[in-house]
Chain A
Amino acid sequence: MYSEKVMDHFTNPRNVGEIENPDGVGQVGNPSCGDIMKITLKIEDNVIKDIKFKTFGCGAAVATSSMVTEMAMGKTIDEALKISNKAVAEALDGLPPVKMHCSNLAADALKAAIEDYLKKQQA
């Protein structure tokens, strides 16, 4: 059902946790679907220096959260904003079709965290 990469990220999720005093926080999800993802960021000179996630969700939700943190780490804000849910799913060698619409929200959480950071910058 799940690819080896999905199972690898589910079994050994990268960057689990929460950054203290984060520069940006993003949380997305749908309780009826059973997936809520929260991403916290540390940004220096427009670059994501640290990123952590917390996820309530299925195996695919944990794996996509873990993968998006790996993909975003060290990227500029503009580069990170270009990471799509589809790209995250592809990086995991695909997800079962039934998981695509509800478990692949990780890039949305990343985007929400970056937008939170940008909003704080403007304020």
Chain B
Amino acid sequence: MRKVYFDHSATTPVDPAVAEEMMKYLTEHFGNPSSIHAFGREARKAVEHARQQVATAIGASHVGEIAFTSGGTEADNMAIRGVAYANRHKGNHIITTAAEHHAVLSTCKQLEKEGFAVTVLPLDQYGQVTAQQVADAITDKTILISVMHANNEIGTIMPIKEIGQVAKERKIIFHCDAVQSVGKIPVNVDELGVDLLTISGHKIYGPKGIGAMYIRKGTFWQPITYGGGQERRRRPGTENVAGIVGLGKAIELATERMQSEAERLTRYRDRLISEVMAKIPHTILTGHPTNRLPNHVSFCFRFIEGESMLLMLDMKGIAISSGSACTSGSLEPSHVLTAIGLPQEVAHGSLRLTMGKDNTEEDVEYFLEVLPPIIERLREMSPLSEGYNACAFGTCDAHAHDHGHDEFEDEF
């Protein structure tokens, strides 16, 4: 059976060139970078080389603006909590969006318990907020704006540059979670106007358990963990040398490949979107139709539930994700899908397909062949599709196919 991995926003395989680089630092150059002997110096050299690779990839002016972390979640926590605690004397207000990853939203929720006030900006139907919304939410107590670059569930790209401009004009610290965008679209901290930026290794063919936080020189920030003096006291603890080396190599490779990969995957993406929308009625494209990650495709299929779809595709060798509650172990469907206005029943039928460097045109063909009968079978089984069956599979045109979700409110 053909095996197709379409879940690159969840994680990516480690690139063989990355693994090869890392291996030396697991076995041969195993020294502690804090040690002053030759073993330690070798490891230190590798860590600093990786720091340069990361700084170069995101256009950071100073290599010291990069601090390595255990991943995106830790970097988000460090950025938000570090700014909040350091600037408490200036104010207690944080602005973020309903699109954010739980690493941001849960951190903000925790800060609310500690006396901070958080404004969570609502999303439009495509999952975007505007710079004007951000500007309107700013008060004299605002100390931080945190907006993600690209959404993991629906692929929408936020207007970070415009928001960065607002932040700069109002002199408010701006954090951007760029876990999904780094390596896929251009990320330059000066062009975007961000003060803190989150990066994760395993989304760009690097290893799991490694990430980085960019912190612009001069940003008022304090560490949230204490111990040794590593990472300029910003993130104490012995460095994950092999992971850091892997992240450095991965981000360098991702940057080199970015343009050609974006062009190739955009072609696949657009074909998948147009063919699925044409072939399968009662389908909603989620996220922005064009202003989205080049490798990202996401839909909601009415009348069916995402986990069932995921399991059936898995039986055909295709790995995808769903924002269905049943795949996350919670009772609520994805907070992003409900924030863009989808009713819960519809949000449960979500599918996220994220392509990567090893996917081919044949993978796209295979998916387009396998998906329609699975949707048809699940809809036949669903009590929610009663009354829609006659036209659900293109045999009548009594109901218009959905190309947005403006009719939702009437039907649910």
Partners in one complex: yes
Tell me the residues in window 35-91 of chain A with beta carbons closer than 8 Å to chain B beta carbons. 35-38, 54-62
A60 to B308, CA, bound (A): 9
B383 lies within 8 A of A36 (CB): yes
Residues of A within 8 A of B315 (CB): 11
Identify the closest chain B residue to A53 (Cβ). Answer: B381
In angstroms, how far is the closest chain A Cβ from the Cβ of B319? 14
Tell me the residues in window 365-386 of chain B with beta carbons closer than 8 Å to chain A beta carbons. 380-384, 386
Residues of B within 8 A of A27 (CB): 383
A59 lies within 8 A of B329 (CB): no
Residues of B within 8 A of A58 (CB): 305-308, 324, 326-327
B326 lies within 8 A of A32 (CB): no
Residues of B within 8 A of A60 (CB): 326
A117 adjacent to chain B (CB < 8 Å): no
A34 lies within 8 A of B381 (CB): no
In angstroms, how far is the closest chain B Cβ from the Cβ of A121? 24
Which bracket fits the contact residues of B? 20 to 34
A34 lies within 8 A of B383 (CB): no
A13 adjacent to chain B (CB < 8 Å): yes
Q: A32-B344, A33-B331 are in contact. Are A55 and B307 (CB under 8 A)?
A: no
B380 lies within 8 A of A16 (CB): yes
B307 lies within 8 A of A56 (CB): no
B344: contacting residue among A34, A38, A57, CB under 8 A: A34
Residues of A within 8 A of B306 (CB): 58
B333 adjacent to chain A (CB < 8 Å): yes
B231 adjacent to chain A (CB < 8 Å): no
A57 to B378, CA, bound (A): 9
In angstroms, how far is the closest chain B Cβ from the Cβ of A19? 13
B308 lies within 8 A of A16 (CB): no
B308 lies within 8 A of A102 (CB): no
A36 to B378, CA, bound (A): 13
A99 adjacent to chain B (CB < 8 Å): yes
B42 adjacent to chain A (CB < 8 Å): no
Which bracket fits the contact residues of A? 20 to 34
B129 adjacent to chain A (CB < 8 Å): no
B384: contacting residue among A13, A36, A99, A102, CB under 8 A: A36
A34 lies within 8 A of B382 (CB): no
Tell me the residues in window 282-329 of chain B with beta carbons closer than 8 Å to chain A beta carbons. 303-308, 311, 315, 324-327, 329
A123 adjacent to chain B (CB < 8 Å): no
A12 to B392, CA, bound (A): 22
In angstroms, how far is the closest chain B Cβ from the Cβ of A82? 25
A60 to B305, CA, bound (A): 11
Residues of A within 8 A of B344 (CB): 31-32, 34
B325 lies within 8 A of A56 (CB): no
Q: What sequence of 0s and 1s flags, for each residue 193-232 of chain B, a beta carbon within 8 Å of any chain A beta carbon?
A: 0000000000000000000000000000000000000000
Residues of A within 8 A of B381 (CB): 13, 16, 54-55, 62
Q: What sequence of 0s and 1s flags, for each residue 314-353 of chain B, a beta carbon within 8 Å of any chain A beta carbon?
A: 0100000000111101011100000000011100100000
Residues of A within 8 A of B343 (CB): 31
Residues of A within 8 A of B332 (CB): 32
Tell me the residues in window 76-123 of chain A with beta carbons closer than 8 Å to chain B beta carbons. 98-99, 102-103
A59 lies within 8 A of B383 (CB): no
A54 lies within 8 A of B307 (CB): no
In angstroms, how far is the closest chain A Cβ from the Cβ of B336? 16
B383 lies within 8 A of A38 (CB): yes
Q: A10-B308, A59-B311 are in contact. Are A54 and B345 (CB under 8 A)?
A: no
B305 lies within 8 A of A54 (CB): no
A54 to B383, CA, bound (A): 5
Q: A10-B311, A34-B345, A61-B305 are in contact. Are A54 and B331 (CB under 8 A)?
A: no
Residues of B within 8 A of A99 (CB): 326
Identify the closest chain B residue to A66 (Cβ). Answer: B381
27 CB contacts below 8 A, A to B, read A10-B308, A11-B315, A16-B380, A32-B325, A32-B331, A34-B326, A34-B344, A34-B345, A34-B348, A35-B305, A38-B383, A54-B386, A55-B382, A56-B304, A56-B305, A56-B384, A57-B305, A58-B307, A58-B308, A58-B326, A59-B326, A60-B326, A61-B308, A61-B326, A62-B308, A99-B326, A102-B331
What are the 3 A-B residue pairs with the smallest beta carbon separation, nearest first?
A58-B326, A58-B307, A34-B348
Known: A33-B325, A33-B331. 16 other contacts (CB 8 A): A7-B311, A10-B311, A32-B325, A32-B331, A32-B344, A34-B325, A34-B333, A34-B344, A36-B383, A37-B383, A54-B383, A56-B382, A56-B383, A59-B308, A59-B311, A99-B326
